[in-house]
Amino acid sequence: METKTISAEDVGIGVDLSPPLSPLTFSLYDSFLSSHCSSCFSLLPPTPPHSLYCSAACSLVDDSPTVSPPDLSPILSTSDIRAALRLLNSISSSSAAASLPHRFGGLLTNHRRLMADSSFSVAIRRAASFISAVLRSDRGNTVLEEAAICAVLTNAVEVQDRAGVAIGIAVYGSRFSWINHSCSPNACYRFVISPPPHSTTTSSFQETLPRITNTDKEHFSSNYEGTVRYGPKVIVRSIKRIKSGEEITVSYIDLLQPTGLRQSDLWSKYRFICNCGRCAASPPAYVDSILEGVVALDHDELTTVGHHDGAATVGKMTSHINKAIDDFLSDDIDPATCCEKIEGVLHHGILDSSSLRLHPSHHAALHAYITLASAYRIRSIDSETDDFGRAFEMSRIGAAYSLFLAGVSHHLVSAELSFAISAANFWTRAGESLLELASKFLMESSGEYDDDDVKCSKCLMLVENHGEIKENFNQILKCAVTDSDSSQVTWSFLIRGCPYLQNFKSSIDFSFTGNHCKREESKSVDQRVSILLLSFHCLLYADLLTDLCYGRKSHSVS
């Protein structure tokens, strides 16, 4: 019988469901071992002497063996091995051995499925032998070490720092690890990273009101904390309304993918097929239809790939975009070539089908916008020293793609609130890129502006009064994009010289007709103030999303 983590009471949107939970084990990724503390994951001081720890306190509390595991397999990273070693060091062999190899210290190991796959089993056995040698085990077998590795592979989550960068992994007890996956989850989680002596946790949780329980009372831990009292802590938070007795779910993967890619991702990482409502929906859920949708320009309508004769054509477009992104990330092509290749596919399609285009919300298009915004920003930075005018133009187009991506994410969040985490990042980046553009504007322009010109008291008051979340989202967009006299002029200014984005009437209007939108730059608008005001609204929207996912006092809200 499958266990389910359920809510012990009715819970609203944006409520912490758990206190800060300490990990059972954790490990930094190799690339962050020299920059972050191996005990608390905080940044190390920039000055020598270099150490694994940020303080004496961190070095004292971490009693795990210091080793450099060999790179045994692409499937099994060195951080996985270090985490398994720390797990064995933190849990007594006698308590772990009682239910081996299917459970390890209360954790499900997925041992049978992982060891049945030769690509996993070979790497797991080699890593288990290495750990056994480090611990100088004399048991005569490596079942315990195999179970620890499988427990890490099955239960570890990526730990993100304040900037959202994945810096390592951590495994938590049953209060967290037993929460099942859903592609339409009603909860998310955030990390608290701070040194032990100064550990401050941000949570609205009241310990007198336990909000998480489980259908398997026998094995479900009654202790909220992990066996170690240091390392990155995790807090579970609701992103939808949850009724008492309703299952609590989180996402294990990137949700901005169509069903087929999500299922493939889950199987390769966790060896299970998701049967949540979104995956089982027939016909596909609306968000999945647009994440793999195309637009037939001669009909001006959305067509789903799965029901369209041009599926092969769309596959070619997706492949072209993905190759350009991969080449850019691996430095095989320069930013300018990357932009040319990706924009060519987005705007012109491919030769054998001039009438088909990817839907603006197609999963490949989303990755294209992210890459284009980054590539144009790099081109802007590269041009700053010798051609400020070109640097400004590259910054302007990069900001346009960031803003368009944010607008697409609003469309997705309106249909599925669990996209809020991704959308918060997109809106933050849009606000920051517009702020960078405004700073360049001020460098080449003269004149002053009033601070009140770049703030919106109405939207500020709306947020401070904690109104209905979706109403607040819509009001901010209405103020910034729909009702503003300067919004269309500003959008036309941002997309100047960008044929693909000129197909769209605004950053949130995705009517794709293949015709350039009407230019309205003739109106008199102070673009400096207009862009700053737009940046303000983007960051305010991002703060709303961040508050929903992480709490108002989270480090992400600034």
Residue 274 lies inside a defined structural domain of this protein: no
In this prediction, residue 530 has a pLDDT band, given cuts at 50, 70 and 90, of: confident
Q: What is the pTM of this model?
A: 0.85
Check whether residue 60 and residue 173 sit in a common domain: yes
Average pLDDT over residues 313-327: 91
Query: Which pLDDT belongs to residue 509?
Result: 67
pLDDT band at 521 (very low <50, low <70, confident <90, very high): very low
CA gap 256, 218 in Å, rounded: 36
Among 161-175, 185-199, 359-373, 501-515, the range of highest mean pLDDT? 359-373
pLDDT at 225: 46
- Average pLDDT in the 389-407 region? 94
Structure tokens at 97: 């051995």
202 in any annotated domain = no
Average pLDDT, the chain: 82
Q: Is 63 within a domain? A: yes
Residues 417 and 535 in one domain: yes
Question: Hey, what are 39's tokens?
Answer: 């005990």
pLDDT in tens, 192-206: 987 765 444 445 555
Per the domain annotation, does 357 fall within a domain?
Answer: yes
Which amino acid, 226?
G
Q: What CA–CA distance (Å, rounded) separates 542 from 421?
A: 10
183 pLDDT band (50/70/90 cuts)?
Answer: very high
In a domain, 508, yes or no: yes
Cβ neighbour number for residue 100 with a 10 Å cutoff: 17
Domain of 539, in residue numbers: 289-550
Q: Are residues 293 and 241 in the same domain?
A: no
Asked if residue 206 belongs to a domain, the reply is no
Q: What is the mean pLDDT of residues 244-272?
A: 92
Residues 239, 346 within the same domain = no
End-to-end CA distance of the chain: 44
Task: Give yes or no: residues 312 and 415 share one domain.
Answer: yes
Banded pLDDT at 117 (limits 50, 70, 90): confident
* Residue 498 shares a structural domain with residue 371: yes
The pLDDT of residue 462: 60
Q: Compute the average pLDDT of residues 37-54.
A: 83
**C-alpha to C-alpha distance for 110 and 154, rounded to whole angstroms:** 7
Which of 160-169, 175-184, 403-412 is predicted least confidently?
A: 160-169
Which of 51-60, 274-283, 421-430, 431-440 shows the lowest mean pLDDT across its residues? 51-60
Highest mean pLDDT among 44-48, 248-252, 473-477: 248-252
- Angle between helix 487-494 and helix 388-415 axes, rounded to 10 deg: 120
Structure confidence at residue 307 (pLDDT): 44
Tell whether the model's pLDDT for residue 223 goes beyond 60: no
Percentage above 70 pLDDT, the chain = 78
Any domain includes 224: no
Q: Which residue has the tokens 């007198």?
A: 208
Q: What pLDDT, on a 0 to 100 scale, did the predictor assign at position 150?
A: 94
401 and 469 belong to one structural domain = yes
Rounded Cα distance, 45 and 35, in Å: 8
Read off the pLDDT band of 41 (50, 70, 90): very high
Based on the domain organization, do 233 and 327 belong to the same domain?
no
Question: Are the C-beta atoms of 305 and 294 separated by less than 8 Å?
Answer: yes
pLDDT at 480 over 80: no
More confident residue, 444 or 291: 291
Both 311 and 180 in one domain: the answer is no
Which residue in 234, 162, 229 sits closest to 192, CA to CA?
234
Q: Are residues 358 and 233 both part of a single domain?
A: no
Compare 354 and 281 and report the one with higher pLDDT.
281
Share of the chain above pLDDT 90, in %: 42
How many domains is the chain partitioned into structurally?
2
Q: Are residues 48 and 108 in the same domain?
A: yes
Confidence of residue 553 (pLDDT cuts 50, 70, 90): very low
Res. 258 pLDDT band, cuts 50 70 90: very high
Q: Collapsing DSSP states into helix, strand and coil, what is residue 191?
A: strand
Confidence at 469, pLDDT banded by 50, 70, 90? low
pLDDT of 66-110, one tens digit each? 777 877 777 789 999 999 999 988 776 555 555 678 888 778 898
CATH (domain of 133): 3.90.1410
Taking CA atoms, 441 is separated from 1, 24, 82, 223, 532, in Å, by: 62, 50, 49, 56, 10
**Assigned token pair, 106:** 């209360």
pLDDT band at 459 (very low <50, low <70, confident <90, very high): low
Distance CA 24, CA 389 (A): 54
Q: Specify the pLDDT at position 306.
A: 47
Q: What is the pLDDT of residues 330-386, one digit of tens each?
A: 999 999 999 999 999 998 887 655 678 898 999 999 999 999 999 999 999 999 888
Average pLDDT over residues 6-29: 92
Per-residue pLDDT, 353? 58
Residue in the structure block whose two tokens are 């001081």 = 45
Residues 483 and 531 in one domain: yes
For 409-426, what is the mean pLDDT? 92
Strands 180-181 and 249-250: parallel
- Answer whether residue 287 shows pLDDT above 90: yes
Least confident of 227-241, 414-428, 432-446: 432-446
Q: Among 170, 156, 183, which residue's Cα sits nearest to residue 251?
A: 183
Which of the four pLDDT bands, split at 50, 70 and 90, describes residue 556? Answer: very low
Cis amide linkage into residue 258, ω under 30° from 0: no
What was the pLDDT predicted at 220? 58
Query: DSSP string of 459-502?
Result: HHHHHHTT--HHHHHHHHHIIIIIS-TTHHHHHHHHTTT-TTGG
Whether the per-residue pLDDT at 522 is higher than 50: the answer is: no
Q: Is pLDDT of 543 > 90?
A: no
Residue 558 lies in a domain: no
Residue 178 CB partners (closer than 8 Å, separation 6+): 3, 5, 108, 214, 216, 220
